[in-house]
Amino acid sequence: MTGTLEGRVALVTGGRGGAGRAVCRRFVDEGAHVYAAGLSDDDDGVEGEPPAGEFLRFDVTSEDEVIAGIAAIESARGRLDIVVNAAGIEIEKTVEDTSLEEWDRIFAINVTGTFLTSKHALPMLRRSDHASIVNFGSYDGFIADPKLAAYCATKGAVHALTRAMACDHGREGIRVNAICPGYIDTPMLEQFYPDGVDPADALAEAERVHPLGTIGTPTDMANLVHWLVSDEARYATGQLWVLDGGISAQVQQMRF
Ligand SMILES: NC(=O)c1ccc[n+]([C@@H]2O[C@H](COP(=O)([O-])OP(=O)(O)OC[C@H]3O[C@@H](n4cnc5c(N)ncnc54)[C@H](O)[C@@H]3O)[C@@H](O)[C@H]2O)c1
C-alpha cells in the first residue's frame, strides 16, 4: 500500500459488513484514521476478514444518533475527509408481497441513512481539501433482479441523490460518486440465493452468467472506493460506477 490516505479521517457506515469491512481495511492500510459505523461491533456474518478501524455505534436511520456519531468524530479528530455510505439491507420480495413497514424500513436504511449521514458530515467535509463521499448504489438501480422491488427502488433513489449532491457541493470542493456493484460475495448475496438451492450450485450458476465467469469480492469494491476517494480521482464526480463483472453488458443467452 502506498499511504494515499495518510492523515485523512474517514467514516464508513455499515463498516462491519462485507463491503464496509473491506473498505475500512483498505483505508487503514492506506494510512487513514477510519471510523466503522454500524449497529454492533460483532462479525456481522462476515467470515475470515478481521474488522478494521475504530467502531462507532450509530443507526443510520436515527438523526440523533448520526449527529452524535459525527460530533464524536469532530471532538476526537477535528476533521472528516471521506464518507462512505455502505450500510444497507435487502428485502427479497415483489411489490405485492412487500408490506408498507418493510418498504419504509428499507428506504429508511438505504436512502434516508445515506441522506442523514451525508447531511451532517457536510460541515466538516467543507473544511477538507480532499472531501469525497461514496454512496452504495447497485446495478439493481439500473436493471432489476427478480423479487427485489423495494431494493431496486432504493438504489435508483441513491443514484439520483448522488448526482444531486455532486451538483450542489462540487463548488465547495466535495466530490460525490456512487459505486454500483453486481454480484459480490458478501452475507447479503448469500441471503439472495433461493431457498432450497445448494449455495454451491447457486454460486456456480451466478458465475456462469457473468462474462468474466466469476462474481466479485469485497476487495474489488474496496479497490474502486479507494480510487474514488483518492486524489487520482480529483476530476470524477456525480457518476455511477458499475462494478459487475460485465453482467449488465450482456443479454442472457439460452442454455442449449
Ligand atoms: N453484496 C452485493 O452483492 C451487493 C451488490 C450491490 C450493492 N450492494 C450494496 O453494498 C452495501 C453493503 O452491502 P454488503 O454486501 O456489505 O451487505 P452486508 O449485509 O454484509 O453489510 C451491510 C451492513 O449494514 C449494516 N446496517 C444495516 N442497517 C443499519 C443501520 N440501520 N444503521 C447502521 N448500519 C446498518 C449491517 O449491520 C451490515 O454491517 C449495501 O448498500 C448493498 O445494498 C451489495
Q: pLDDT tens, 45-66?
A: 787 789 999 999 999 999 999 9
As beta bridge partners, residue 240 has 178
In angstroms, rounded to a whole number, what is the distance separating the alpha carbons of residues 36 and 148? 27
Separation of first and last alpha carbons in the chain: 46
Pocket test for ligand 1, best of 188, 190, 209 (most atoms within 8 A of CB): 188
pLDDT at 253: 73
Using alpha carbons, select from 9, 230, 42, 248 the residue that is nearest to residue 137.
248
Place domain 9-183+219-244 in its CATH homologous superfamily: NAD(P)-binding Rossmann-like Domain (3.40.50.720)
Q: pLDDT tens, 123-170?
A: 999 999 999 999 999 999 999 999 999 999 999 999 999 999 999 999
pTM comes to: 0.97
Residue 141 DSSP label: G
Report percent pLDDT > 70 for the chain: 98
In angstroms, rounded to a whole number, what is the distance separating the alpha carbons of residues 91 and 78? 37
The mean per-residue pLDDT over the stretch 195-224 comes to 94
Nearest-10 crossing angle of helices 149-169, 113-126: 20
As beta bridge partners, residue 134 has 84, 177
Question: Pocket residues for ligand 1 (CB within 6 Å)?
Answer: 13-14, 16-20, 38-39, 44, 59-61, 86-89, 109, 113, 136, 138, 181, 183-184, 186-189
Catalytically annotated residues: 151
Q: Identify the weakest region by mean pLDDT among 126-130, 180-184, 201-205, 230-234.
A: 201-205
Q: Count CA within 13 A, CB hemisphere, residue 87.
A: 30
Examine the pLDDT at 42 and tell me if it is beyond 90: no
Closest atom of ligand 1 to 192 CA is 3
Gap from CA of 17 to ligand 1 centroid (Å): 6
Element (H, E) at 190: helix 187-192
Question: Which residue, judged by its Cα, is nearest atom 41 of ligand 1?
Answer: 88
Ramachandran assignment for 236, one of left (phi > 0), alpha (psi -120 to 50 degrees), beta (any other): beta
